[in-house]
Structure 1
Amino acid sequence: MRLTLLPPLLALSACSLAPELVKPELPVPAAYPSPSSVVTDGDHAADLGWRSMFGDPRLQRMIELALLNNRDLRLAALNVEAVQAQYNIQRAARFPAVNATGGTTRQRIAADQTADPATSARMQNQHSLGIGVSAFEIDLFGRVRSLSEAAFARYLASEEGRRAAHIALVGAVADAYFAERLAQEQLDLAERTLADWRQSLDLARQLKSADQTSGLDIAQAEGQVATAEADLEGRTRALARATNALNLLVGADMPDDLPPPRPLDGSAVRTHLPVGIPSELLIRRPDIRRVEQTLLAANADIGAARAAFFPRLSLTTSLGYASPALGSLFDNGQWVWSIAPQISQPLFLGGQLRAELRLAEIRKSEAIAEYERTIQTAFREVADGLAGSATYGRQIDAQVRMVVSTERRMDLSTLRYRAGVDGRLEVLDAQRQLYAARQTLLDLKRDEIGNAIGLYKALGGGLTEQEDDGTQASHD
C-alpha cells in the first residue's frame, strides 16, 4: 500500500453529527434604563483605555505592576496554555501517526520445530526497517472531529476567561486603591477632628478653672475626645487593611518612586460613560464570550456522543524491508507491506452510550442557562451603574451643602458658647454632626468612584491600556 492513499481516507472524515446550534434570544430588554444624565452616544466604554479612565498617575503605575505580577492573572494565563495543549493533543487524533521502526530478531529454533525432522536445531535472524500507521481512526461519522472542535472551543473559552480576569484585575486594583485613599482621608479627618476636640477640652478646663463652667462640661468634652481616639484607632486599622489588600492585588513590593496620590476630589475618574445597547455586551464582555464558547463545546460534545453509536473504522498499515541478513536488507525482493483495516460496532454496553449522550445534552442545557444568566447579570450590572451615574452627583451636591451648613452651625454654636448664651451640649452636638457629615461626604465620593469603576467593568472596559491612533496595548 502507498502512503498516497492516506489523503482520500482523511477526506472521509467530513461528516458531523453535532446538532445545529441556535443561540437563545437575549433574555433582557432591548435598551437600558437610560436617565437623561447618562451618555449613550460616542465611543463605547469598552474601547476606553484604562489610562484614560483613571487619570491618577499613582494608580496607573499600580495597575502596570499588577498586570505584571498578580498571581491570579498569572494562573489564568497558565490555564490558557494548559487548555491549548489539551486542544493540540485532541487535534492530533485527526491525523495519522506515522512511525518509523527498525528492529532485529535472533532466535533458536528447536529441531522438532523445523520443517525437516532430520534437521538439527538452528539459529535464525530477522532484520526489518519500515514506516507505518497504527490504529488510525477514519472518522466516518465525525466523532474525532467533534471532540477536536469541543477542545478548540474550550481553548477559546479559557482565553476569554483570561481576558475577563484581566478586566477584573484592573477594576479590583482601582477599587482597592480608592479604598485605601478613602481610608487615608478618613484617618486624616479623624486626626484633625481629634485635635480640634482636644482644643475644646482644653478650653473647657480653662473655663472650669475660671469658675465659668461646671465639671459636667469637662466630662462631656472628655467623653467626646475618647470617642474620637477610639474612632482614630479604627480608621488606622482600616487603612492598614486597605493597604494590605492593595499590595496583594499588585503582587509586588511598592517601588519608592511612585507618584504622589491625588485626593478623592482630584482622582480624575470618568463617572459618565457611553454605554451603547445591551446586544453590544455580547462582543464587549469576555465573560459572555467565554460562556458562548462553552456552549459551542457542549454542542460539539453531543456530536461526539451521537457518533459513538456508529461503527468505528481503524486502519493499521506498514511498509518497509525485511531480511534474514542485515547486509541484504535493501536488496531487491526484500520489500514488504501490510494493511489491516478493522471495523467495530458497539452492540451492548449496558446503556453507557445513551447515558453519555443524555449527559452531553444536559450539559448543553446547562451551558444555555449559564449563557442566559451571564447576559442577565451583565445587563443588571450596567443598569445598576447607570442608576448610580444618574444620582451620585446630585447626592454629593446635597451632602456638600449639608457640610457647609453644619460648619456654619458649629461656628455659631462655638461663639454662643463662649459668650455664655448656649451650653456645652449644643457645641458638642454641632461638632459631632459636622464630623459625621464630612465622613459621609467622603463615603459618597468613594461610592461614586466605585460605581464608575463597576460600570466600566460591566461594559467590558479595562482590557486595553490606551486607545489613541489605533495602537492599543492590552498586556495580552
Structure 2
Amino acid sequence: MKTLNKHKFLLIAATGLMLTFTACKLPDVVQKTENREVPAAYNDMQQDTASIARLKWKEYFKDPYLDTLIGTALKNNQELNITLQEIEMTKNEIRARKGEYLPFIGLRAGAGADKVGRYTNIGAMEATTDIKPGKEMPEPVQDYMVGAYATWEIDIWNKLHNAKKAAVSRYLSSVEGRNFMVTNLIAEIANSYYELLALDNQLAIVNKNIDIQNNAFEIIKLQKQGARVTELAVKRFQAQLLNTQSLQFAIQQKITETESKINFLIGRFPQPVKRSTDSFESLTPNAVYAGLPSQLLENRPDVKQAELDLMAAKLDVKVAKAKFYPSLGISAGIGYRAFKPDYLIRPESLLYSLAGDLAAPLINRNAIKAEYKNANARQVQAIYNYERTILNAYIEVANQLAKIDNMKKAFDLKAQQVDALNQSVDISNDLFRYARADYMEVLMTQRDALESKFDLIEAKMQQMNAMVNIYRALGGGWN
C-alpha cells in the first residue's frame, strides 16, 4: 500500500513539475476581437425587416425559360459539382479528427524463427534450459504470436476534441461556400439571360432600321435622278445603311457568345437557348425589400462562411496552445506467444502489458511556438476577412439599391428621348421630302434615334441586372 501511495505521489509530482515548466512563458501574441457592428439601415432608408432574400429563386424569377435554365445549372454545373466533392472531403476530415481521440485497437499475428550463436549469453541459456525434464529447447527457436493491442491518448486538454470541432466548422464553412456559389451561379445565369433578351431586342431594332433606311435610300436615289440631290447624298445614305447592316453581325456574334456562356454554366455543349419573345422594354423589375443590414449576417452565405472560418481559426489556436502541455498516453496488449503452435492456447503462453506515459516538451520548443504564433496569425487574418466580408456585403447592397433607383429614372428619361427622336425622324423625312431640310439632318436624326433606342435597351438591361444583383447581394437564391 505504501508503495502504491509512493507511486501516486511521484506521478502527481511529475505532472506538477511538467505543468510548471510548460505552462509558463507562453509566446506573446496579438489579441483582437472581431467587429460585428453594421449600420442600422441602407442609404438612410426606412428600417423594414421584410427581405427578398427569404424568397426562393423560383418565387423571385417568374420567367419559365429562366427557371428551367437555373434548375438545369444547379444539377449539371461542373464547378458546383466539384465543390460538392470538396464538401465530402471536409466531411471525411471530421471522421479523421474524431478517430484521434478514440482508442486505437488492432489485432496482430506473426510467426518466425530465430537461431542465435551457441557462445552468446542467450545461446548458452537456451542450451542449458529444458522445456520439460529431459527435453531440450528446440533449435532454431520458432516464434508464434497472436493478440490484440490498444493505444489511447487521453485528451486532458481538449486538444483533440478542439481539432475535431475545428474540422466541423470547416465542413460547415464549405457548405456555406457552396451556398454562396449557388447564389452567384443563379445571378450569373439570370444576368446572361436578360442580356440575351436585350440583344434580341437590339437586333430587332437594327432590322427595323435597316428597312427604314432601305426605303430612304431608294427615295434618295430617285431624287438624285430628278436632280434634287447630288451623288454625295446618295453615298452618305448608302454608307449609313451599310453601317447599320454591319451592326446585325456584331449583335449576332454577341448573341452566340452569350448563348455559349449560358450553355457552359448549365453544363451542356452550345445549342440555341430557349427564351421569352416578349418585348424587353415592357419587363418590370420585381419590387425590392432589402430588410435590415444586420440580416446580412444570417442571409449571406459568404458572411456565414467567414464566421465559421473564424471559429475554426480560434479553435486552431487552442489546439496549438495545448501542445505546450503534457500529453498522457495509455498502451495495452494481450495475447499468446509460444515457440510451437500447439502451445499457443495454453495458459502458460498468455502475455499482457499495460503502460502509461506522460510527455511534455521542455527544451527547444521552437516548432511548437512557431505553430502557435502561426495559428494566432491565421486567427487575426480570419477576423479581418470576416470584417471585410461584412463591409463588402453592405456596400454591395447599398450600391444595388442606389442603382435600382437611378436606373429607373434613367430609363424613364431615355424613353422620353426615344419618343422625341422618333417624332423627329418623321419630321425630318417630311421636311426633306419638301426640300425644307437637307439630307444631313435626316441622317443625323436617324442615327440619333437608333442610338437612343440602343441606350433605352441598355438602361432596361441595367434595371434587370440591378434586380438580379440585389437579390444576390442580400443573400437570396441558395435556400
Deviation readout 1:103-145 (Å, 9 max, x if unpaired): 23333354331416567862333333222113x3222222222
User: Matched residues in 1 for 2:275 and 2:197: separation?
Assistant: 14
Aligned match of 1:149: 165
Q: Closer, same or farther in 2 for the Cα pair 1:156/1:343, shift >3 Å?
A: same
Say whether residues 1:222 and 2:238 are aligned partners.
yes
Aligned match of 1:199: 215
User: Matched residues in 2 for 1:371 and 1:351: separation?
Assistant: 30
Say whether residues 1:65 and 2:72 are aligned partners.
yes
Relative to structure 2, which stretch is displaced further, 50-59 or 346-355? 346-355
**Partners of 1:56 and 1:268 within 8 A in 2:** no
User: Matched residues in 2 for 1:293 and 1:35: separation?
Assistant: 30
The correspondence of residues 44-59 of structure 1 with structure 2, limited to 5 A, is: 44-59=51-66
1:130 is aligned, of 124, 138, 147, to 147
1:257 positional shift? 9.6
**Partners of 1:110 and 1:122 within 8 A in 2:** no
Deviation readout 1:436-469 (Å, 9 max, x if unpaired): 11101100000000011110001111113xxxxx
Aligned match of 2:20: none
1:86 positional shift? 2.0
1:165 is aligned, of 146, 169, 181, to 181
Which structure would you say has the larger Rg? 2
Stretches of structure 2 that go unaligned for 5 or more consecutive residues are 1-22, 24-28, 129-135
Say whether residues 1:323 and 2:338 are aligned partners.
yes
Aligned match of 1:418: 433
**Partners of 1:204 and 1:217 within 8 A in 2:** yes
Q: Closer, same or farther in 2 for the Cα pair 1:416/1:314, shift >3 Å?
A: same
Q: Closer, same or farther in 2 for the Cα pair 1:345/1:42, shift >3 Å?
A: closer
Deviation readout 1:367-423 (Å, 9 max, x if unpaired): 000000000000011111111222322321221111111111111111111112111
Say whether residues 1:341 and 2:351 are aligned partners.
no
2:281 is aligned, of 265, 285, 291, to 265
- The one-letter code of the counterpart of 2:99 is A
The correspondence of residues 109-124 of structure 1 with structure 2, limited to 5 A, is: 109-112=116-119, 113-115=123-125, 117=127, 122-124=139-141
Say whether residues 1:95 and 2:111 are aligned partners.
no
1:214 positional shift? 1.8
1:263 positional shift? 3.7
- The one-letter code of the counterpart of 2:125 is A
Q: Closer, same or farther in 2 for the Cα pair 1:204/1:387, shift >3 Å?
A: same
User: Matched residues in 1 for 2:462 and 2:398: separation?
Assistant: 16
Runs of 4+ in 1 over 6 A off after TM superposition: 254-257
- The one-letter code of the counterpart of 1:79 is E
Aligned partner of residue 115 in structure 1, secondary structure = helix
User: Matched residues in 1 for 2:477 and 2:193: separation?
Assistant: 15
- The one-letter code of the counterpart of 1:115 is M
Q: Closer, same or farther in 2 for the Cα pair 1:362/1:394, shift >3 Å?
A: same
1:342 positional shift? 2.2
**Partners of 2:407 and 2:463 within 8 A in 1:** yes
1:302 positional shift? 0.6
The percentage of counterpart residues that share the same residue type is 24
**Partners of 1:54 and 1:268 within 8 A in 2:** no
The correspondence of residues 299-448 of structure 1 with structure 2, limited to 5 A, is: 299-349=314-364, 351-448=366-463
**Partners of 2:428 and 2:437 within 8 A in 1:** yes
Deviation readout 1:138-160 (Å, 9 max, x if unpaired): 22222222222222211111111
User: Matched residues in 2 for 1:58 and 1:116: separation?
Assistant: 89
CA RMSD of aligned residues (A): 2.4
- The one-letter code of the counterpart of 2:66 is L
1:265 positional shift? 3.5
Aligned match of 2:26: none
User: Matched residues in 2 for 1:283 and 1:261: separation?
Assistant: 38
Aligned match of 2:19: none
Deviation readout 1:259-302 (Å, 9 max, x if unpaired): 654442355652x2221111111110110010111101110111
User: Matched residues in 2 for 1:430 and 1:59: separation?
Assistant: 37
1:66 positional shift? 0.8
Relative to structure 2, which stretch is displaced further, 254-263 or 157-166? 254-263
User: Matched residues in 1 for 2:267 and 2:145: separation?
Assistant: 59
Aligned match of 2:8: none
User: Matched residues in 2 for 1:78 and 1:34: separation?
Assistant: 43
Aligned partner of residue 115 in structure 2, secondary structure = strand
**Partners of 2:336 and 2:351 within 8 A in 1:** yes
1:33 is aligned, of 28, 37, 43, to 43
User: Matched residues in 2 for 1:355 and 1:423: separation?
Assistant: 82
- The one-letter code of the counterpart of 1:379 is Y
Aligned partner of residue 288 in structure 1, secondary structure = helix
1:22 positional shift? 8.5
Aligned match of 1:456: 471
User: Matched residues in 2 for 1:260 and 1:138: separation?
Assistant: 65
Relative to structure 2, which stretch is displaced further, 120-129 or 61-70? 120-129
Deviation readout 1:53-90 (Å, 9 max, x if unpaired): 11111111111111111111111111111111222212
**Partners of 1:27 and 1:375 within 8 A in 2:** no
1:231 positional shift? 2.5
**Partners of 1:183 and 1:242 within 8 A in 2:** no
TM-score by length of 1: 0.86
- The one-letter code of the counterpart of 1:129 is V
